[in-house]
Amino acid sequence: MVNLSFDNREGYIWYNGNIVDWRTANVHVLNHGLHYASCVFEGERAYNGKIFETQQHTTRLFKSAESLDMIIPFTENDIIEAKNVLLKKNSLIDAYVRPVVWRGSEMMAVSAQITKINVAIAVWEWPSYFDPDQKMQGIKLDIAKWKRPSPECGPVHAKAAGLYMICTLSKHEAEAKGYSDALMLDYRGQIAEATGANIFFKMPDGKLHTPLADCFLDGITRRTVIGLAKASGIEIVERKIMPEEMADAEECFLTGTAAEVTPVQSIGDYKFTPGEICLKLTDAYNKLVNEK
């Protein structure tokens, strides 16, 4: 199933309050979300039939929509209930969950005050984001030429579709070189994140250092892992990190809904050894999300 095109699958999608056949959940080519990136979304995971942190993801979806001047015509409870109904309707236990909100086709110009705000939710089986055999050995990252923009350039704390254009370009270039992903710096030249995941480093002081999320998404998995680390007695330092500091880092890993906790063995010419902290937090996260 994972090799099928996403427009040609069996199953059901929740679309503006109705459950419809997967193949009929279509939009017109002249919709504002496609042409002007007025679109926000979430990426969530269901484990054992339970969507992890579904309330946090739903709240962020609404905040992201508000950042793009879109009012979702449903309540948070409506969306949470729809996600759970959809999992059962599609007979899925472990799955990826994708709510998406976009402006419709009523206007086709930059200005779009009267466009309808559409909402859809899809769920599907989701394998490991990275090669499972490679994951625990640590993945390899390139260093992207594209940078995360300044907060003055857009709603950088929203999970907005337009902000991912440079992520796609960075990941494509990295994969063409044989890497799994790319590290992105921010507009100041400081370490920001990977193309779809936050990043952590174990430094010689024994603490976990992670960039301040002041111009990119403060991931829900990021916050979860910070909580797990603190509960394990690992001190967290959130600060500005320059690329050259990676020379001193002993361990490195990514966090994200898709990536979960993924060790990193290299970023460009910088090398790391997945060790005790990576393994401890990987195990702690897996136990947490699989709680029944």
CB 261 within 8 A of CB 278: yes
Residue 2 predicted with pLDDT over 60 = no
Q: In the predicted model, what is the mean pLDDT of residues 12-20?
A: 98
For 12-124, the fitting CATH number among 3.30.1060.10, 3.40.50.10420, 1.10.510.10, 3.30.470.10 is 3.30.470.10
Q: In the predicted model, what is the mean pLDDT of residues 158-165?
A: 97
Question: So what's the pLDDT on residue 1?
Answer: 41
More confident call, 132 vs 62: 62
What letters, b where the CB count within 10 A reaches 16 and e where it falls short, cover 69-87?
ebebeeeeeebbebbbebb
* Maximum separation of any 2 CA atoms in the chain, in Å: 57
More confident call, 291 vs 249: 249
Tell me the pLDDT band of 128, cut-offs 50, 70 and 90.
low
Cα distances (Å, whole numbers) of residue 271 to 47, 111, 146, 226: 33, 48, 22, 23
Sequence-distant (6+) residues with CB within 8 A of 2 are 125, 127
Strand partners for 255? 198, 261
Tell me the pLDDT band of 144, cut-offs 50, 70 and 90.
very high
Q: What is the pLDDT of the chain when averaged over all its residues?
A: 95
Question: So what's the pLDDT on residue 131?
Answer: 61
| DSSP code for 196 | S
**DSSP assignments along 158-188, one per residue:** S-BGGGGHHHHHHHHHHHHTT-SEEEEEETT
Work out the number of other CB atoms within 10 angstroms of the CB of residue 153: 11
Q: What is the pLDDT of residues 195-244, one digit of tens each?
A: 999 999 999 999 999 999 999 999 999 999 999 999 999 999 999 999 99
Q: In the predicted model, what is the mean pLDDT of residues 26-41?
A: 97
Residue 223, CB-side half-sphere exposure with 13 Å CA sphere: 8
Question: So what's the pLDDT on residue 135?
Answer: 65
* C-alpha–C-alpha distance, residues 27 and 36, integer Å: 15
Q: What is the pLDDT of residues 51-94, one digit of tens each?
A: 999 999 999 999 999 999 999 999 999 999 999 999 999 999 99
Query: Look-up: residue for tokens 């236990």?
Result: 93
Catalytic entry in 159, 202, 240, 287: 159
* C-alpha–C-alpha distance, residues 49 and 96, integer Å: 11
Tell me the pLDDT band of 289, cut-offs 50, 70 and 90.
very high
- Residue range(s) occupied by CATH 3.20.10.10 in the chain: 132-289
Sequence-distant (6+) residues with CB within 8 A of 276 are none
Sequence-distant (6+) residues with CB within 8 A of 48 are 93, 94, 290, 292
- Residue range(s) occupied by CATH 3.30.470.10 in the chain: 12-124
Residue 114 predicted with pLDDT over 80 = yes
Residue 4 predicted with pLDDT over 90 = no
* C-alpha–C-alpha distance, residues 114 and 121, integer Å: 23
CB 183 within 8 A of CB 254: no
Question: So what's the pLDDT on residue 184?
Answer: 98
* C-alpha–C-alpha distance, residues 119 and 65, integer Å: 11
Structure tokens at 122: 């899809």
| Phi and psi based region of residue 7 (left: phi greater than 0; alpha: psi -120 to 50; beta: remaining) | alpha
Superfamily of domain 132-289: D-amino Acid Aminotransferase, subunit A, domain 2 (3.20.10.10)
Question: So what's the pLDDT on residue 126?
Answer: 82
Q: Positive or negative, the Cα torsion across 92, 33, 194, 170?
A: positive
159 annotated active-site: yes
CA 78 to chain centre: 22
Strand partners for 118? 102
Question: So what's the pLDDT on residue 130?
Answer: 59
Query: Look-up: residue for tokens 């050995």?
Result: 137
Structure tokens at 73: 């015509």
Tell me the pLDDT band of 291, cut-offs 50, 70 and 90.
confident
